[in-house]
Amino acid sequence: MSKTVANGSKMVASPSDNNEVRIKAAVLIQTWYRQYTARLEARRRAAWVVYQSIEYDSESNQINLQKFFDDILKFGSKMSRGGASGSFAQRLQESVGAASREERDLLNQTKYDNIEVEKSYSGPRLSFPLSAPQVQKMIEHFSKGGKLHARYVLQLLHETRLVLKARPNIYRPSTSISKQMTVVGDLHGKLDDLLLVLYKNGLPDVTNPYVFNGDFVDRGDNSVEVALLLFALQLVWPTAVCINRGNHEDCVINRSYGFVKEILQKYRLDSCKIVQLFSDVFAWLPLATVIDEQILVAHGGISDKLDLRLIDSLDRHRYFSAVRPSFENGKIDKKEWDQLMELLWSDPKPQLGCKLNKSRGGGCYFGPDVTENFLRQNKLKMIVRSHETNPEGYEFCHGNCVLTIFSASNYYSEGSNRGAYVKFDNSGQPRVMQLCASKSKQLPLGRRLATFEDAALRGLRAKIAASRVQLVAAFSELDFGKTDCVTIAQWCSAMESELQLSLPWRRLRPRLVKLTPDKRVMYMSTFQRTAVQHQGGRSASAPDASMMESVYKSREKLETSSESWTATIAATSVWTSSRSAAEFWAESPRGTYQKMKLLTWPRLWTSIKMEKSISTSS
């Protein structure tokens, strides 16, 4: 480096000056990069909160569905008390009881002998007892996008059912021979992640045992293949594979989050048999695993009242669904049910104590003091749980006594998170391994984040569209001057109170609404990109909009119901011609009922009575 002085001569800079310039440049670049990554991290966390809040709100609706179902039965019996139509509630109860009894009668209803395997079928042809080469063929076939023939699906599920029935509620493996144990968390139908785990960590055997900690179905596109592959691994290596039950191994949850719909699409002719048999197999899954009498592996978590002796002794198959348990003589063991929900649905929190998990609607939040007392009372060292997403795929908390493992990468959208699994040695020391079954990690960080943000905002806008009537009413109450504008604080307050989502609304505001020159929110701009319209693009009128938004909230459940309803009605055959309205309410989340009952329930209940009167007169 040199510079020219006044007399025209050049003065050469010293080496120390060059070093100082380089250091300043490096510090400047480093400062800029840290600020850039900090901004990206803030954006990523905001998008993550949006996704997680919407997910937990949806699960909360499913938990409240049982209470809502009871409300319908009570309301129906009051409306029809003593009259000729008094059998409505009775028939509704009978249909639920009949369906429950039929699901248990699987041996006759799920026969596979009469299902022929076509000559054109190119997938693996299974024979039992299953062997390791057959499992390898299944892996190769699934990795190419193939599906297993319905006959082999049913046969494999029947074999799995026999193995699981012999398992205790709490499985207690030892690492005395293997010297290690691998725990895999939520997979949620992500076949690529499961195959990557098996590729990196190896297939199971006596020296390489696995615990799969629930939630291997729903949400992903390959839930059937993931479940069948896990069951096949357990059949070939029964002492080296344990599969815990998660909150999504539940016949009611499966109807809402994609698993039943996937079965209907892939096995249309035999879907009813397969759905019934999967539900029964899920009910036989163990509830927890204790490794070397030191490490509890359970899907959700614990509570201050959780009793492992009670968990070990209850009849787990009785709880086909944890969110809608089977009623025997109108009663269930509430203590058992509460503890099952706590085991499958709870989450750890840094605050002390134990309180109801209102975000999910079931289970509890348990603090570090609850963890400490539980470990001491049961002479354990650690709790490994899943159930909760994390950007890195894992998280230690409560003084490293609780480890959350989540194995489904790109769970919310492409690039949203990594997956992970954990390996324990025979001394109980964990070693976490991260994974990402996607090419998105090759994209720049900013590109990945932009994709993640867009997907999160689409989900939020869908939630806003489903609550337009309530939001407009809330904004109108705050708009005293009828200017179609409110303050930013009022807009944030209305959004949080009506959507019941604790989100950083001020940070999200620029992406959702427009401001006037005096910094007031034009609240109708909230719906510019979220309008619910009729099929020709015409916006719905106010009364019709409330009905359409109710349907929109339950679109996934209604879509699944529309594909399977013919088979279900044929099996129960006790519904009246008014079932169209009753079906909608039986399938809708409680939140829909609570928020829309004043607008929609009278109209739907009138529809039920009108259809019943038409049926009676004809």
What residues are annotated to the active site? Answer: 248
Contacts of 607 by beta carbon, 8 Å cutoff, 6+ apart = 578, 580, 581
**Among 553, 508, 500, CA closest to 526:** 508
**Among 219, 213, 204, CA closest to 243:** 213
* The length of the chain, given as a count of residues: 618
Q: Report CA dihedral (282, 284, 285, 288) to the nearest 10 degrees.
A: 130
As a whole number of angstroms, the distance between CA 127 and CA 417 comes to 39
Whether 364 contacts 356, CB under 8 Å: yes
CA distance readout (Å), 70 to 288, 354, 515: 30, 28, 45
Whether 89 contacts 77, CB under 8 Å: yes
The token duo for 254 is: 């499966």
**Among 287, 108, 123, CA closest to 214:** 287
Whether 249 contacts 279, CB under 8 Å: no
Q: Please, what's the largest Cα pairwise distance for the chain? A: 115
A 10 A CB-CB count for 163 gives 15
CA distance readout (Å), 470 to 184, 221, 522, 529, 593: 42, 34, 16, 17, 13
Whether 388 contacts 414, CB under 8 Å: no
**Among 86, 380, 123, CA closest to 267:** 123
As a whole number of angstroms, the distance between CA 436 and CA 443 comes to 13
CA distance readout (Å), 502 to 423, 453, 471: 35, 17, 16
